[in-house]
Structure 1
Amino acid sequence: MRASRLVTLLLLLQNRGRMTAGQLAEELEVSVRTIYRDVEALGAAGIPLYGAAGHAGGYRLIGGYRTRLTGLTAEEAQAAFLAALPGAAAELGLGAALATARLKLRAALPAELREQAERIQERFLLDAPGWYDPVDRVPHLAAVATAVWARRAVILRYRRWRAPEEIERRVEPYGLVLKAGRWYLVAAGPSGIRTYRIDQILELRSLEDEFTVDGFDLAGYWNGYLADFRTRLHTGQALVRLTPRGARHLGVTPTGNGWTQTRVPIESIDQAHGEFLRLGTDIEVLAPAVLRDRIAATIRTLSARYES
């Protein structure tokens, strides 16, 4: 346990520069006294550490000292290779950089960890899009990524689902998100921070306007966006009867071998109409009446069509 903590302390100083004993203690969730002992142990092992007292003091590594990645565990080495997304990196124009970085990481690993990490590439592959989802064409992704890296504003001509279907606006690109095989841009515009599907960008013009971002948490924003999306997604309910197979399809626990009556969330009458028809005879809609009547009308139309 202590050896792992010493490696983490060393890597913190290597990546962040000067840190106080209090900051290190908070990061490592130990006491300041423990940090003092750990720093002494690193110094005794020949690590060139410098400590200064006072308000502007702290610990730092001397002379640009860098450690090799020999502190990685087998699981950490495997996770590092598993986390690499070559498809996404290639779309962002970073495919060659990722390949080079992985070569450097592989070279820095001890032989036994290198062998275990390479097994990840042999045995795991991430293919994010669904089976029936078309692969999005994202011709403007590279330009959007450049604007995100450089913190430069852009003007988007964008297609959306409601009127007016095409809009043009100046936005400040904060970050990119890859979700289920689709790229999204999180950007600040005239009406606040919004999310844009990059495959719906019709035209993009880069500007010279630079901007700054203070305290924006991309992961926090995205989690809130998803939670709000799910809240708005299912705003109604339907009362249904389900066979055991229909219950399993909707994620409902069957009450036995017969029919199960339950309420399920629905997004809209249109969405529920299409979703429930897919279940065929494994579902009966009891309410709302407008949904039951619409499904009944569709079944009558289909019956007449096939009888003729």
Structure 2
Amino acid sequence: MPHLALLQDALWEERRLVLHYEHGGRPPARRWLLDPWGLVSKNGVWYLVAAAGGDPRMFRVSRVRGAETTPEPSRCPADLDLAAVWARLQADVERLWGPLLAVRFAVRAEHAEVVVRVCAPQVVGEVREEPCTTAGWRGFSADFRAAGAARGVLLGFGADVRVLEPPELVADVLATARSVLASYGAGPS
């Protein structure tokens, strides 16, 4: 995260920021003029909490494509409760996307980097690596925005990905795979 230090400096120096940010990690980057309020780390993922036109927002630091401080002082409410603002922003994201789905899955080692990269836009936070006992496979967990997003992304990798949890997603993936086979006249086996 090449811009984290600059964001920290803007907070300490109480300076406004011009941020170039890719929403959802997808180009093009949008330009924001922000009053930085704080940095928050959740599960090892850094977020900038800042005001745009007075409205609080959160920005995932790994999606910042450029940043610069301005000579203008930042505007921060004297009674700011960063923890309360953070909780409200998280609740807004959950209302927008619905409850997150915690998913554990295994990936053939040679495809792991591609799978993680393709999953990233459908995940809140980061795709986390975890132990895997199957030789030649790597284990991961992630909080997907919705069951359909997890099914679509993971099933798209065919036999190179195995969904391990939650059981309802495993059943959904199996039912979808059987339906695809049946549509080709191959019937479930």
TM-score range, shorter chain: 0.5 to 0.7
CA separation of 1:235 and 1:208: change in aligned 2, threshold 3 A: same
Deviation at 1:301, TM superposition (A): 8.7
| Structure 2: distance between partners of 1:184 and 1:210 | 21
CA separation of 1:301 and 1:224: change in aligned 2, threshold 3 A: same
What aligned pairs does 1:221-236 form with structure 2 within 5 A after superposition? Answer: 221-234=85-98
What aligned pairs does 1:130-169 form with structure 2 within 5 A after superposition? Answer: 138-161=1-24, 165-169=28-32
CA separation of 1:171 and 1:303: change in aligned 2, threshold 3 A: farther
Number of positions where the alignment pairs a residue of Structure 1 with one of Structure 2: 132
Q: Structure 1: which amino acid aligns with 2:146? A: E
- Name the structure 2 match of 1:216: 80
Deviation at 1:235, TM superposition (A): 6.2
Match status 1:278 vs 2:163 = yes
Deviation at 1:161, TM superposition (A): 2.2
CA separation of 1:301 and 1:183: change in aligned 2, threshold 3 A: farther
CA contact (8 A) 1:235 1:268 kept: no
| Structure 2: distance between partners of 1:208 and 1:234 | 40
Report percent identity of matched pairs: 24
| Structure 1: distance between partners of 2:38 and 2:152 | 37
What aligned pairs does 1:95-174 form with structure 2 within 5 A after superposition? Answer: 138-161=1-24, 165-174=28-37
Match status 1:296 vs 2:183 = no
Match status 1:181 vs 2:44 = yes
Could you state the TM-score of these two structures normalised by the residue count of structure 1?
0.36
Q: 1:197 aligns with which of 60, 66, 69?
A: 60
CA separation of 1:199 and 1:177: change in aligned 2, threshold 3 A: same
| Structure 2: distance between partners of 1:274 and 1:167 | 26
Structure with higher strand content: 2
Could you state the TM-score of these two structures normalised by the residue count of structure 2?
0.56
Structure 1: state its 5+ residue gaps. Answer: 1-137, 237-265, 286-290
Please state whether the residue corresponding to 1:161 is helix, strand or coil.
helix
Deviation at 1:165, TM superposition (A): 3.3
Please state whether the residue corresponding to 2:24 is helix, strand or coil.
coil
Q: Report which of the two structures shows the higher radius of gyration computed on alpha carbons.
A: 1
CA contact (8 A) 2:48 2:58 kept: yes
Deviation at 1:299, TM superposition (A): 5.2
CA separation of 1:300 and 1:273: change in aligned 2, threshold 3 A: farther
Deviation at 1:270, TM superposition (A): 2.9
Structure with higher helix content: 1
Deviation at 1:174, TM superposition (A): 0.6
CA contact (8 A) 2:36 2:74 kept: no
Q: 1:267 aligns with which of 143, 146, 162?
A: 146
Structure 2: state its 5+ residue gaps. Answer: 101-144, 156-161
Deviation at 1:164, TM superposition (A): 6.4
| Structure 1: distance between partners of 2:152 and 2:32 | 36
What aligned pairs does 1:50-69 form with structure 2 within 5 A after superposition? Answer: none
